[in-house]
Amino acid sequence: MKRIFIAVKIGVGDKLSRMISSMKSEFSSEGIKWTANDNIHITLAFLGDTEENKIKNIISMLNALCKTIVKFELTLRGTGVFKNINDPRILWTGIDTSERLLDLNRIIIGGLRESGHGIEERPFSPHLTLGRIKYFRDKEALKKFLDNYKDMVFQKVAVDEVILYESILLPKGPVYKPLARIALN
């Protein structure tokens, strides 16, 4: 069994990198497990534990579907938290609404369902996870920080492939190992 997911890898540009560094510095005493910059991605589908003999079929399905999808661009904008400011769990950077990204997600989810693969059932909420919060004491400072960046455009991102990753959970944090890179048309 391999724990797998399908994602778009995001290369962190200078402006986003500076904001993340500033956030890490300002909130160094808070209980945050930061995402390594080279692990930052947009999850399109999380399949979880998957039998290895099914992975080739998933790759074939992705190859067929991705031929129908034209490359596109995204804009990374703003910061925020999931659950809410009073009980923050995830620090994120947002993505401007993109019909192309929503279509990519719908097509991949549809292909997975059609081919009988179990997937995590939750609404698609495109974002980049910057950190997972265990505890956060100074919520007023967090709110102020997020407000400073809430509308900032960090960078444009070319989406020209999807990646099937294996997620290997280690005590120091997850390692994401690419199993297949599938180019868009």
78-91 pLDDT per residue, tens: 999 999 999 999 99
The 10s digit of each residue's pLDDT in 154-173 is 999 999 999 999 999 888 88
pLDDT of residue 171: 86
The 10s digit of each residue's pLDDT in 108-143 is 999 999 988 877 677 899 999 999 999 999 999 999
Return the CATH architecture of domain 2-183: Alpha-Beta Complex (3.90)
Q: How far apart are CA 53 and CA 115, in angstroms?
A: 14
Closest CA to 80 of 182, 151, 17, 184: 151
Average pLDDT over every residue of 38-56: 93
pLDDT of residue 14: 96
Q: Specify whether 117 is catalytic.
A: no
Extract the tokens encoding 69.
């999808």
Q: What is the mean pLDDT of the chain?
A: 94
Q: How far apart are CA 153 and CA 78, in angstroms?
A: 7
Closest CA to 159 of 103, 77, 86, 109: 103
Phi and psi at residue 169, to the nearest 5°: -85, 120
Cα 38 → chain centroid: 11
Q: What secondary structure letter does DSSP report for 137?
A: S
pLDDT of residue 119: 75
pLDDT of residue 43: 95
Q: How far apart are CA 116 and CA 177, in angstroms?
A: 24
- Contact status, residue 129 vs residue 119, Cβ threshold 8 Å: no
Predicted model pTM: 0.92
Closest CA to 178 of 33, 55, 53: 55
pLDDT of residue 122: 78
pLDDT of residue 13: 96
- Contact status, residue 81 vs residue 94, Cβ threshold 8 Å: no
Catalytic residue among 6, 20, 41, 159: 41
Phi and psi at residue 61, to the nearest 5°: -60, -45
Catalytic residue among 104, 127, 149, 154: 127
Q: How confident is the model at residue 7 (pLDDT cuts 50, 70, 90)?
A: very high
Q: Where are the domains of the chain?
A: 2-183
- Contact status, residue 174 vs residue 167, Cβ threshold 8 Å: yes
- Contact status, residue 42 vs residue 158, Cβ threshold 8 Å: no
